[in-house]
Amino acid sequence: MIIRKKEHWFKMLFVWHGSVLPGLLPRLFLLFILSLGVVYLRGVIFSFKIPLNPAPLTLFGFVLALFLGFKNNASYDRFWEGRKLWGALLNTARSLTRQALTLKNTKESKVSASEFIKLLGAFVFALKHQLRGTDAHEDLKDRLNEDQLKIVSVAKYKPAVIMRLLAEWVQQAKEEGSIDTIQQARFDENFDKLSDIVGGCERIVSTPLPYSYRVLLHRTVYIYCFLLPFGLVDSLRWFTPLIVVFVAYTFVAFEAIADEIEEPFGTEANDLALNSMSVMIEETIHEMAGEEITTSRKEKQTIID
């Protein structure tokens, strides 16, 4: 995800990185060439004049804009729900860390808060990789011991397995007498929240917008853009290609943005910054344990970009 400070309105006209425009240029260029051909031929194809004028295109464009607005709202709802789930993950991780750190452990205790915190950090990174469909081994090998890594590496749903390891840590603390039944129940409440967060993220990933709806809207956008030059050629003449490209950019860009944020856990420029959020969650729980944060601002910026 691209994270920028608010820029001057004039500079934003020329922003390239993070914009969908680079991916749209071939399509817009094709429409520009088509519009030039339509103007040159005066809207006549094989001796037949295409009987279009701006009136029906204006009405149809208004209806198309409503459908695009609906799709953008639906896509942004998915994007925002994903962001709220990761915000809840931050809060729950802090709560679990606080609970682990404030246990009345004895010196002979076999469980340590540092092990719990490492497991919690591994859970965050495992969830990130599961949502993106990437290999989690490199991030997990430094956060799990050898036995834990063997168990998690063979699992398909790694966050769920790590949740079990976290629960086993709590159960061992209970058996040692470091926590009582009430404290164990409080841990379980937060584990249930973690489970809800994982399930919510999996729901977003596994349930895209209906494919038939996407195909219908996609076809309609491009049919409208290809017909637009025939409706404008008689009134705009050689200005037609410029107006067509501008209108097409608006409609096609809306569709492209909606497609991009529909799956908010990806790696495209406008998806959620899961890398930086994962690092931030891990940093805050280690800081709560009194450890020094060593990640530099430069490294953070690299993670965000």
Q: What is the pLDDT of residue 109?
A: 59
Q: Is the dihedral of CA 116, 118, 120, 122 positive or negative?
A: negative
Share of the chain above pLDDT 90, in %: 52
Round to whole Å and give the CA distance between 221 and 69.
Answer: 13
Residue 47 DSSP code: T
CA geometry: angle at 118 spanning 114 and 120, to 5°?
A: 115
Q: What is the pLDDT of residue 304?
A: 40
Q: What is the pLDDT of residues 157-186, one digit of tens each?
A: 999 999 999 999 999 999 888 888 999 999
The answer on pLDDT for 51 being more than 90 is no
The answer on pLDDT for 111 being more than 80 is no
143: three-class secondary structure by DSSP: coil
Share of the chain above pLDDT 70, in %: 89
Round to whole Å and give the CA distance between 43 and 230.
Answer: 5
- Is 228 exposed, middle or buried, given 0-12, 13-18 or 19+ CB atoms closer than 10 A? buried
Round to whole Å and give the CA distance between 143 and 119.
Answer: 7
Round to whole Å and give the CA distance between 277 and 3.
Answer: 12
Average pLDDT, the chain: 86
**Minimal CA–CA distance to 31: which of 218, 256, 222, 238?**
222
Q: What is the pLDDT of residue 56?
A: 84
- Is 76 exposed, middle or buried, given 0-12, 13-18 or 19+ CB atoms closer than 10 A? middle
Q: What is the pLDDT of residues 202-217, one digit of tens each?
A: 999 999 888 888 898 8
Q: What is the dihedral of CA 243, 244, 250, 252, to 10 degrees?
A: -170
